[in-house]
């Protein structure tokens, strides 16, 4: 039997630190449920000291998970560790993950501590964590830019204090595969007691080497890989879960290991995360991108028809991408809709199915066939309505330069009508919305794309709008792209009002 490499998923913590990717508690729970179906060994649910909402998110995930270990992050500071332990109390298999930097760059410029002080703090933090939670992971932040012999000392101190897992992260995405493999080999060989701990690799993608470095770390002795769905994370992101898992599975001759990941759930996890965060998956993204199994060149098509082995090193089915989608239409009932949503990984209440069904039927009046991606977009846009203060009841635009927009918003049964002119229909409509609500926002990002092929495709609009210095994400969907964009803007505005009132 192949040796096991555990998958430590940090989508809910490091991944959520991607600009615009923050999730509320309900969204974290929904994604956590999918990560459990995916078969991750450990999921890092958040950083409890950061805020009350973050604490509650970790606690709720800890309560909900039956299979995976649930981890919480804490700096090597007593109050952080105690707060993390408190959030993990409901967890069946908790992991307290504490960290401190070990590179001279961080010691001098960030921590302003000596090597001796950091060494002492690392041991003290692990001992405190171990007294509160059964399993402790220690991370030497910026390990790949740390002195190797000092890294050995810190690792040894953490293990002596009771650390079960030692993480040697490439915090800034600086290292190369050869270097990180050698680093793991050196530390494991020279740190006394290393056989008592699992070594873990956490890599950032600043130079595009995160997956390659993670796989090299495994060759060097790491038996846990820390990663995120779609590779999301700070700056250029983290190790992509789907890429490292399928790398191991596909190249067994080079990486003779196994993971517990249910690979058929990979695409579903990718699409769910994209809809929750608004971070769109590039079409050419390995494994999960729309074009990952598409063949347009004639010579490729001919080869694939003859044998898929000619141009496919894995099957679409192996990662959960079906070659034929179940198509829904206006004659589909609520039960069929509910069943399809369940198959896509969404657990919706009867009331939510009822609301979704109304939107679904309205969509079938505009397009004949509703595909899986249409449903995902409808579910995502319906989620934004949970924050709804203002509802877009009617939109009409006319003219060229300038464009005039008539907007009718509904609030508590009252209709509010306003007109405005602007540079194009979206600008004019947003100006009218601002006049009605008295709230002005600055559009930071805007994108719209077709959810499915065809002229009658559902337009999927995503915006990030700044209100009072806060960046708020909004999503909208309609076969009319102007309406989709305006719904996205209004969705962001409604979220802002809900956050302001809370």
Residue labelled with tokens 């879960």: 241
Q: Which of 20-24, 106-110, 470-474 has the lowest mean pLDDT?
A: 20-24
Sign of the torsion formed by the C-alpha atoms of 371, 276, 139 and 143: positive
Phi, psi of 453 (to 5 degrees): -70, 160
Residue 73 has a pLDDT of: 98
- Superfamily classification of domain 3-277: Aldolase class I (3.20.20.70)
Q: Are 379 and 346 in contact (CB under 8 A)?
A: yes
| Cα distance between residue 163 and residue 125, in whole Å | 10
- Residue 313: exposure state from Cβ atoms within 10 A (0-12, 13-18, ≥19): exposed
Instruction: Say whether pLDDT at 380 is over 90.
Output: no
Residue 306 has a pLDDT of: 55
Q: What is the CA radius of gyration of the chain?
A: 25
| Cα distance between residue 212 and residue 247, in whole Å | 9
Instruction: Say whether pLDDT at 295 is over 60.
Output: no
- 94: closest CA among 157, 22, 156, 45? 45
Q: Which of 45-54, 160-169, 360-369 has the lowest mean pLDDT?
A: 360-369
Instruction: Say whether pLDDT at 330 is over 80.
Output: no
Instruction: Say whether pLDDT at 299 is over 50.
Output: no
**pLDDT tier at 387, thresholds 50, 70, 90:** low
pTM: 0.77
Token pair listed for 440: 């002005």
Q: Are strands 470-478 and 6-9 parallel, antiparallel or unpaired?
A: unpaired
Bigger pLDDT: 122 vs 329: 122
Sign of the torsion formed by the C-alpha atoms of 114, 120, 121 and 122: positive
pLDDT tens for residues 33-49? Answer: 999 999 999 999 999 99
| Cα distance between residue 228 and residue 469, in whole Å | 28
Question: What integer best gives the mean pLDDT of the chain?
Answer: 89
Instruction: Say whether pLDDT at 301 is over 70.
Output: no
Residue 471 has a pLDDT of: 82
Angle at 349 between CA 344 and CA 352, to 5 degrees: 85
**pLDDT tier at 182, thresholds 50, 70, 90:** very high
pLDDT tens for residues 86-133? Answer: 999 999 999 999 999 999 999 999 999 999 999 999 999 999 999 999
Residue 151 has a pLDDT of: 98
Bigger pLDDT: 278 vs 247: 247
| Cα distance between residue 446 and residue 21, in whole Å | 15
Q: State mean pLDDT over 128-147.
A: 98
Residue 127 has a pLDDT of: 98
3-state helix, strand, coil in the chain (%, to 5): 45, 20, 30
Instruction: Say whether pLDDT at 300 is over 50.
Output: no
Q: Are strands 403-411 and 6-9 parallel, antiparallel or unpaired?
A: unpaired
Bigger pLDDT: 291 vs 431: 431
Instruction: Say whether pLDDT at 297 is over 50.
Output: no
Highest mean pLDDT among 223-232, 325-334, 377-386: 223-232
Q: State mean pLDDT over 413-420.
A: 91
Token pair listed for 267: 């695409």
- Return the percentage of the chain with pLDDT > 70, whole number: 90
Would you give the DSSP letter of residue 385? G
**pLDDT tier at 502, thresholds 50, 70, 90:** low
Multiple choice CATH, 386-501, 3.40.120.10, 3.30.160.270, 3.40.50.2300, 3.40.50.10190: 3.30.160.270
| Cα distance between residue 462 and residue 474, in whole Å | 6
Instruction: Say whether pLDDT at 440 is over 70.
Output: yes
Q: Are 141 and 121 in contact (CB under 8 A)?
A: no
Instruction: Say whether pLDDT at 326 is over 60.
Output: no
Residue 48 has a pLDDT of: 96
Q: What 3-state DSSP class applies to 252?
A: coil
């Amino acid at each position: 039997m192949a040796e096991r490499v555990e998958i430590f998923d940090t989508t809910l913590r490091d991944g959520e630190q991607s600009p615009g990717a923050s999730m509320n508690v309900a969204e974290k729970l929904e994604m956590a449920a999918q990560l459990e179906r995916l078969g991750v060994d450990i999921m890092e649910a958040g950083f409890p000291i950061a805020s009350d909402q973050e604490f509650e998110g970790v606690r709720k995930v800890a309560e909900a998970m039956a299979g995976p270990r649930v981890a919480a992050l804490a700096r090597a500071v007593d109050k952080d560790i105690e707060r993390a332990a408190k959030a993990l109390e409901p967890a069946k298999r908790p992991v307290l993950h504490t960290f401190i930097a070990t590179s001279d760059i961080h010691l001098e410029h960030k921590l302003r501590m000596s090597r001796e002080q950091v060494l002492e703090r690392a041991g003290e933090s692990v001992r405190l964590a171990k007294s509160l939670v059964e399993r402790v992971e220690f991370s030497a932040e910026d390990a790949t830019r740390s002195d190797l012999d000092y890294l050995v000392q810190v690792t040894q101190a953490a293990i002596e204090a009771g650390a079960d897992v030692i993480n040697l992260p490439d915090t800034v995405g600086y290292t190369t595969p050869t270097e990180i493999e050698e680093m793991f080999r050196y530390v494991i060989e020279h740190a006394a007691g290393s056989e008592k701990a699992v070594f873990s690799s956490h890599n950032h993608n600043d130079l595009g080497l995160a997956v390659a470095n993670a796989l090299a770390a495994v060759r060097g002795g790491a038996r846990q890989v820390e990663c995120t769905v779609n590779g999301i994370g700070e700056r250029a992101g983290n190790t992509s879960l789907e890429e490292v898992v399928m790398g191991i599975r596909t190249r067994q001759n080079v990486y003779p290991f196994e993971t517990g990941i249910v690979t058929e759930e990979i695409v579903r996890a990718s699409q769910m995360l994209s809809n929750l965060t608004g971070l769109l998956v590039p079409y050419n993204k390995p494994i999960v991108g729309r074009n990952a199994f598409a063949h347009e060149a004639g010579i490729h098509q001919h080869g694939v028809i003859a044998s898929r082995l000619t141009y496919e090193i894995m099957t679409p089915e192996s990662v959960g991408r079906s070659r034929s989608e179940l198509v829904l239409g206006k004659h589909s009932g609520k039960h069929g809709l509910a069943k399809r949503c369940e198959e896509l990984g969404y657990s919706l209440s009867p009331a939510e199915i009822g609301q979704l069904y109304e939107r679904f039927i309205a969509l079938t009046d505009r397009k004949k066939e509703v595909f899986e991606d249409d449903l995902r977009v409808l579910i995502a846009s319906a989620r934004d309505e949970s924050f709804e203060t203002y509802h877009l009841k009617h939109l009409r635009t006319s003219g060229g330069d300038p464009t005039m927009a008539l907007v009718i918003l509904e609030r508590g049964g009252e209709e509010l009508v306003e007109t405005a002119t602007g540079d194009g229909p979206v600008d004019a409509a947003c100006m009218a919305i601002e006049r009605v609500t008295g709230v002005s926002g600055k559009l930071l990002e805007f994108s719209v794309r077709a959810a499915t092929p065809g002229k009658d495709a559902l337009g999927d609009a995503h915006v990030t709008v700044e209100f009072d210095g806060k960046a708020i994400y909004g999503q909208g969907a309609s076969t009319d792209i102007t309406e989709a964009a305006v719904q996205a803007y209004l969705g962001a505005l409604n979220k802002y009002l809900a956050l302001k009132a809370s």
